[in-house]
Amino acid sequence: MNWSRFKDACTTYLFIVPAVLLFSVFSLYPFLKVFQLSVFEWDGIARSMQFVGLENFRTGLFHDTSWWISMRNAGVVTLLALTLQNGLALALAMIVDRDIRGKNFYRVVFYLPPVLSGIVVGLVWNWIFDGSHGLLNHALAAMGLERWARAWLAEPETALFSVAVIHMWKGFGWGFVILLAGLQAIPRELNEAAYVDGASEWQIFRKITVPLMLPVFFLVSILTVLGTMQIYDIIASTTNGGPGYHTEVPITRILAAMVGSSRFGYACSLGVLFGVILLAVSMVQLRLSKWSQRFS
């Protein structure tokens, strides 16, 4: 190989070296390290780690009730987000997709909550849901419904549901924007042709909109599941897992194992477990997406 060819190859590699370097140190290494740590018992400080095999996974799977409570809590919020939040997003997208005024205004306003951080959203709603001075309780009192007033985020019966409301408030605008983009990609001529042929509104929805939107529906639901199961910022700024374990979610449990009880190995095994579950759920959804598209 002559000198100029060699120099040429070197300059090419200079383009990708920074990216590869950062990727190896901050993505690849932690990724592998999580698997390694998950089979050790380690407090995060000591020089020695104790190899425990799959013991951590056994504990996580069979003996840690708080872990499964946290999975159930996140699951409940996810189900609510999949149905209520995405349903609202779809309804709004279908209205705004029509030829009505203020399309851009609605898009800008609906996407405002997703732009804010989970911390900000959580703290503002914390103040609205406040037990003694919160806006919601004042509003209820003004309507003569004092007996409904309560510390929404601090009582076991309402805490998880209140967190879900906050999460959906923050999230629906994001689904709205993606669904609207999907709807607008449907060729207008299809609707027109169906309409001229005498199809009803429902038939058009059923035979044109739904089949063409299926991939988008699945994409939105996969991203909703991934995003909602990993909910953390809103929890941290409102209930921090309380009262009791009523709003614990997987990330707060992993953090509790890591920072709270200094069991780094166990925290990693929970992370691996959680990652595998999320991957499995997305795989099932992808399969369903492929399968359902065969019928349309």
Partner 1 sequence: MVPAIQLNKPLVMPARPAQGVQWQRWLYRIKRWVLLAFAHAFCLSIAAGCVFPLAWMVSSSLKTQSTIFSDMSLWVSRPHWGNYYEAWTRGHFGQFFFNSLFYTLAVVVGVIAISSLAAYAFSRLKFPGKNILFILLISTMMIPIPGSFIALYVLLVKLDLINTRLGYILPQVNGGLALGIFLLKTFFDKLPQDLEDAARIDGCNKFQVYWNVALPLAKPALAVLVVFNALAVWNEYLLAMLVLSDRSLMPLQRGLMVFQGAHLTQYPLLMAGIAISIIPIVTLYFLMQRYIVAGITAGALKM
Which residues in the 168-187 window bind partner 1 by CB under 8 A?
169, 173-174, 177-178, 181-182, 185
Q: Which of 43, 44, 283, 293 binds partner 1 (CB under 8 A)?
A: 44
Supply the minimum distance, in Å, between the C-beta of residue 48 and partner 1: 15
Q: Compute how many residues bind partner 1; rule: CB under 8 A.
A: 100
Whichever of 152 and 264 has its CB closer to partner 1, that residue is 264
Question: What residues numbered 180-219 form the site for partner 1, per CB under 8 A?
Answer: 181-182, 185, 188, 191-192, 195-196, 200-201, 204, 216, 219
Question: What residues numbered 106-165 form the site for partner 1, per CB under 8 A?
Answer: 106-113, 115-120, 123-125, 127-128, 132-133, 135, 138
Question: What residues numbered 228-267 form the site for partner 1, per CB under 8 A?
Answer: 230, 232-233, 236-237, 250-251, 254, 258-259, 264, 267
Whichever of 59 and 191 has its CB closer to partner 1, that residue is 191
Closest to 259 measured CA to CA, from 44, 109, 54, 4 = 44
Question: What residues numbered 266-285 form the site for partner 1, per CB under 8 A?
Answer: 267-268, 270-272, 274-275, 278-279, 282
Question: What residues numbered 82-111 form the site for partner 1, per CB under 8 A?
Answer: 88, 91-92, 95-102, 105-111
Whichever of 31 and 51 has its CB closer to partner 1, that residue is 31
Supply the minimum distance, in Å, between the C-beta of residue 294 and partner 1: 20
Question: What residues numbered 47-76 form the site for partner 1, per CB under 8 A?
Answer: none
Supply the minimum distance, in Å, between the C-beta of residue 145 and partner 1: 15
Supply the minimum distance, in Å, between the C-beta of residue 244 and partner 1: 20
Whichever of 25 and 79 has its CB closer to partner 1, that residue is 25
Phi, psi of 204 (to 5 degrees): -65, -45
Closest to 278 measured CA to CA, from 258, 254, 259, 250 = 250
